[in-house]
């Protein structure tokens, strides 16, 4: 399974054909393909543990480092192994099973959006001189959530700068091939306004101040949600928008570029299925 964030690179069985009572190893490999450290745990689901002699379905993998371009290293690998015994079936029986490796990881997506501020006089001067005004592109760390920020190409402060307001729209899209863990798909969000501005009202408006409305029992042992000052929900699991309004409290003398910074914090999970067939060998009555 591909995608930014922590990707499942292999989920395989030590035996290609299983018979009753065979000992088998299910082997999982994952790799951090994104831009930040991930804390990873895995859970084996889709089969009844008692049938397979499996006392524990969870496996805590731990921290995985991202790739380091300066060092020339790839994202760190992690592994999990489950040692099972195939179910005891009567001779002649053949059954299909579909164990699923569900990989959870705590992760962040970090966004920096440069915004150019100009005075009205500087805007007029640039237009008269035929200058092209900058349209800065946001930088987004690799991960399963993509983020776009719209503010307009530049912000012109009015002559009466106390009345200079401008909106920002943040669109968060799930592009990782999995889902956010928790009821209503919660995301922690921290937004730092550009220097010389302040939020007009709450930002984001529809947020909570703590992790609520989710079921913590879905997280494997050892994995916790990252701390966040505010929490929003991606109600359909695919996309959500956050709208804020900023007020300029310290305008530029002429023109300046200042950064808006956003950090998303969340637990994400994805699945990989491994079809297995078990052939029975037990004689009747034994």
**What integer is the mean pLDDT of 244-253?**
84
Read off the pLDDT band of 133 (50, 70, 90).
Answer: low
The whole-number pLDDT of residue 159 equals 60
How much is the mean pLDDT over the chain?
A: 87
Read off the pLDDT band of 282 (50, 70, 90).
Answer: confident
Which of 11-25, 84-98, 122-136, 194-208 is predicted least confidently?
122-136
Residue 217 CA to residue 237 CA, distance in Å, equals: 19
Q: With 60 as the cut, is the pLDDT of residue 209 above it? A: no
Residue 38 CA to residue 34 CA, distance in Å, equals: 9
The whole-number pLDDT of residue 175 equals 95
The whole-number pLDDT of residue 154 equals 61
The whole-number pLDDT of residue 132 equals 66
Convert the pLDDT of each residue in 24-68 to its tens digit. Answer: 999 999 999 999 999 999 999 999 999 999 989 999 999 999 988
Structural tokens at position 126 = 């640039």
The whole-number pLDDT of residue 124 equals 73
Read off the pLDDT band of 218 (50, 70, 90).
Answer: confident
Instruction: Give yes or no for a contact between 77 and 230, defined as CB atoms under 8 angstroms apart.
Output: no
Structural tokens at position 128 = 């008269």
Q: Which residue has the higher pLDDT, 250 or 274?
A: 274
Which of the following CATH numbers is that of domain 6-104+270-279: 2.60.40.10, 3.40.190.10, 2.40.30.10, 3.20.20.80?
2.60.40.10
Instruction: Give yes or no for a contact between 75 and 31, defined as CB atoms under 8 angstroms apart.
Output: yes
Residue range 108-265 in CATH 2.40.160 = no
Instruction: Give yes or no for a contact between 157 and 124, defined as CB atoms under 8 angstroms apart.
Output: no
What's CA 193's distance to the chain center, in Å? Answer: 22
Listed ranges 26-40, 61-75, 110-124, 129-143; the one with the highest mean pLDDT:
26-40
Pairing verdict, β 6-13 and 23-32: antiparallel
Query: What is the Rg, in whole angstroms, of the alpha carbon atoms belonging to the chain?
Result: 25
Instruction: Decide: residue 127, CB within 10 A, 0-12 exposed, 13-18 middle, 19+ buried.
Output: exposed
Do 6-104+270-279 and 108-265 fold alike per CATH? yes
Convert the pLDDT of each residue in 148-192 to its tens digit. Answer: 998 866 666 666 666 677 888 999 999 999 999 988 899 999 999
The residue ranges of every structural domain in the chain are 6-104+270-279, 108-265
Read off the pLDDT band of 206 (50, 70, 90).
Answer: low
Q: Which residue has the higher pLDDT, 161 or 263?
A: 263
What's CA 90's distance to the chain center, in Å? Answer: 45
Share of residues in the chain with pLDDT > 90 (%): 56
Q: Three-state DSSP class for 51? A: helix
Instruction: Decide: residue 14, CB within 10 A, 0-12 exposed, 13-18 middle, 19+ buried.
Output: middle
């Amino acid at each position: 399974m591909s995608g930014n964030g922590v990707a499942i690179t292999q989920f395989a069985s030590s035996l290609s054909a299983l018979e009753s009572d065979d000992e088998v190893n299910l082997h999982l490999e994952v790799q951090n393909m994104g831009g930040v450290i991930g804390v990873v745990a895995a859970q084996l689901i889709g089969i009844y543990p008692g049938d397979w002699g499996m006392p524990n379905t969870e496996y805590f993998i731990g921290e995985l480092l991202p790739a380091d371009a300066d060092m020339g290293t790839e994202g760190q690998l992690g592994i999990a192994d489950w040692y099972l015994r195939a179910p005891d079936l009567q001779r002649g029986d053949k059954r299909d099973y579909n164990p699923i490796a569900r990989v959870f990881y705590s992760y962040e997506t970090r966004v920096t959006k440069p915004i150019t501020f100009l005075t009205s006089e500087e805007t007029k001067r640039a237009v008269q001189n035929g200058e092209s005004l900058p349209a800065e592109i946001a930088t987004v760390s690799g991960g399963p959530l993509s983020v776009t920020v719209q503010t307009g190409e530049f912000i012109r402060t009015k002559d009466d700068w106390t009345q200079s307001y401008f909106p920002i729209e943040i669109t968060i899209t799930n592009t990782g091939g999995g889902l956010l863990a928790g009821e209503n798909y919660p995301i922690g969000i921290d937004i730092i306004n550009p220097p010389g501005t302040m939020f007009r009202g709450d930002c984001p408006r529809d947020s909570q101040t703590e992790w609520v409305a989710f079921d913590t029992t879905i997280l494997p042992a050892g994995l916790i949600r990252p701390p966040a000052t505010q929490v929003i929900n991606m109600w359909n699991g695919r996309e959500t928008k956050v709208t804020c309004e900023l007020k300029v409290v310290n305008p530029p003398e002429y023109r300046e570029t200042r950064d808006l910074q956003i950090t998303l914090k969340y637990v994400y999970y994805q699945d990989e299925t491994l079809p297995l067939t078990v052939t029975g060998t037990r004689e009747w009555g034994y």
